[in-house]
A and B are shown apart, each in its own frame.
Chain A
């Protein structure tokens, strides 16, 4: 296929604002362009942090120091964590696909505050750059881990302030995006779209936005307090100055546990769109899925203490946090049952997006069950700070949020670019990714149970086999990633022209042209039906 325009309309990609070229992007308040600007930034940072991960795996392939010393290793896992958590997965799906599709799916022409939206992107980029600078400026890469635990983070004479400021600034951007989405959903739904006629991806974004709004300020102030402690020797957390280090952990996890739901809820929203489309069946249990998002967001506030079982908090608080942690599993399980029931008896079309969505469930289940092992008091004490935890959260974050991101990428690609990628390459890349992923992380469960601590750069000989397999998995995973991204980049201009509704979707984004026009809709649609009505068998 050639490069020339094959469409009969002027798409948002060709729309000219006041400026041309790259400036037309950097000054655009079009939610679709801003979504893509997030996408490109996130992919770049993701690849950078993935390389850091690969470096750590290479180091751990064999016992002893191979390609770096211990201090370098500390710096690398800190930056890996900071980038992956704060720059990649927390904004992740919401900032990219939320920005692009939220207004379209609720029948609006843009978000409520388009300029604020662009501003949030700039704040995001500023924070991201600060995070990377922390590696190079000043006194050496921060070595605290992404959790910045005091008193070490108040004492370490590396570049911790940069990393803290970066996380603070990124949090600000996250708050503004959440605020924008909440107002957008409240005020800009198309006429006739009542709350329970809203598609489920917007529902998940709504629940997420509330967490961003209510939890982020707490970590914001906590990070500021650590900065103040470092610069001014104020004693909030350092016991030598009269502070209380446990206070830091409480404040930190009050945000950071809900933050894992900021990562995972939009991911659940994405697969909830994909299952009905590729089964050509209405989603099973619409109400339960919508409400369970809110339930997860709500209960998620009360479980932070499960990160602190071994810190000496009281018996009853441990009991309580453990109990509540198990409660969170309930709404998550409800969703899994709903997705599987949606597929049941449908005419299933195993296209790449669905394949990614199914692997999402599979990996998320492994991550979830091992999460319960960590949530139970007795087993937690044994597994705390071992590679088991590392495997657990990679299954949840990478296997869950990451694979949902890939699913979203393959699902909405034709809508975003108006072109198709190669299905064949997508299948092959998926296979390599999936095998690599499990080879990389599964052995960590085993050596974790055997006692391999996390955040160590060297290990005893008995862990060699497990570490070796894991490192080989990392290479395979990496190959899969490159192939997947290559496929998408290559077909961005050269792929076959996509029809406006290649998968027979029923939500609003499939009813407009591909790629959408600058204004999304010539005329704002009037909504008369619930969102998932498929023509063939809309009996249930």
Chain B
């Protein structure tokens, strides 16, 4: 990073990475609040959660899990590629990751619009006439997957910015904090999904 205020001080990669790790902690705590709410509400409404969870599409959920796992792998490989000085391969692998993010979002879109076809959007008449405990489940479902999708989106943007930085030669074999940090962020997005998937789709 350059610094136009003119301080001759550079962030070395250790410093940059430490900042990212701390930020990821806060992200974990952000979702942690939702997990806590999930735990409390599940204990209170086990029945309704059970019924509502059965309505979710396990196939799409599983598919998306695989998609994210693969994307985590490709982004990790892109770091190795850049370390070895193979700029093009690195960029290619990042672009595959972004593509997979797109696939994830498209699946999500189908999943949600399928729900909407059944008039199951929050606040709709059908929704508000559900059993109360099911409303709570869907509330958590929309909030958690929605917030996660937002993170997928942000992660993808971060990766695209990284591609441009590599092209510009700012990120290279000797200095690749930004790539490492975007990859870390992407792993977090993946990790959170790994928790969401069983909690929402599998436990019925």
Contacts and interface: CB of A to CB of B under 8 A. Distances in A.
A244 B26 CA distance: 25
A235 B37 contact: no
A440 to B, nearest CB: 37
A116 B15 CA distance: 13
Contacts of A251: 33, 36-37
Contacts, number: 139
Contact of B4 (A18, A217, A242, A519): A18
Given A109-B7, A113-B11, A242-B48, A179 B36 contact: no
B203 interface: no
A183 B26 contact: no
Contact of B123 (A114, A182, A232): A232
Contact of B33 (A221, A228, A241): A221
A234 interface: yes
A314 B12 CA distance: 51
Contacts of B7: 29-30, 109-110, 114, 518-519
A216 B30 CA distance: 8
A234 B4 CA distance: 46
Given A110-B7, A232-B122, A232-B142, A217 B19 contact: no
A218 B139 contact: no
A220 interface: yes
B133 A186 contact: no
Given A217-B30, A247-B37, A29 B4 contact: yes
Interface string A204-217: 00000000011011
A228 B29 contact: no
A243 B136 contact: yes
A514 interface: no
A110 B9 contact: yes
Given A242-B136, A518-B6, A112 B123 contact: no
B47 to A, nearest CB: 11
Interface string B1-30: 101111111011011001100110111011
B132 A241 contact: yes
B37 A236 contact: yes
Chain B facing A: main interface SS:
helix
A106 interface: no
Contacts of A243: 41, 136, 139
Contact of B3 (A29, A232, A235): A29
A113 to B, nearest CB: 6
B76 interface: no
A311 to B, nearest CB: 15
A28 B6 CA distance: 10
A297 B138 CA distance: 36
Contacts of B6: 17, 518
A112 B15 contact: yes
B169 interface: no
A232 B123 CA distance: 5
A110 B1 CA distance: 14
B4 to A, nearest CB: 6
A182 B11 contact: no
A218 to B, nearest CB: 5
B3 A112 contact: no
A397 to B, nearest CB: 25
Interface string A92-121: 000000000000000011101111100000
A228 B123 CA distance: 11
Interface string A240-261: 1111100100010000000000
B40 interface: yes
A247 B18 CA distance: 33
A455 interface: no
B88 interface: no
A348 interface: no
Contacts of A529: none
Given A241-B132, A241-B136, A112 B22 contact: no
Q: Which of A18, A224, A232, A247 has the most CB of B within 10 A?
A: A232
Contacts of B36: 251
A102 to B, nearest CB: 15
Contacts of B45: 242
Contact of A244 (B11, B18, B33, B41): B41
Interface string A170-214: 000001000110110011000000000000000000000000011
A115 B133 contact: no
Nearest to A246: B40
Contacts of A112: 11, 15, 19
A213 B135 contact: no
Interchain residue pairs A-B with the least CB separation, the first 5: A234-B139, A242-B132, A221-B33, A232-B122, A217-B29
22 contacts: A17-B4, A29-B4, A30-B5, A109-B8, A109-B9, A110-B9, A179-B22, A180-B19, A182-B22, A183-B22, A217-B33, A225-B33, A232-B123, A232-B139, A234-B142, A235-B136, A236-B37, A236-B143, A242-B41, A242-B131, A243-B41, A244-B44
Given A109-B7, A186-B18, 13 more contacts: A18-B4, A112-B19, A175-B26, A218-B29, A225-B34, A233-B123, A234-B138, A234-B142, A235-B136, A236-B37, A241-B136, A242-B132, A518-B6
Interface of B: 1, 3-9, 11-12, 14-15, 18-19, 22-23, 25-27, 29-34, 36-37, 40-41, 44-45, 48, 122-123, 127-128, 131-136, 138-140, 142-143, 147
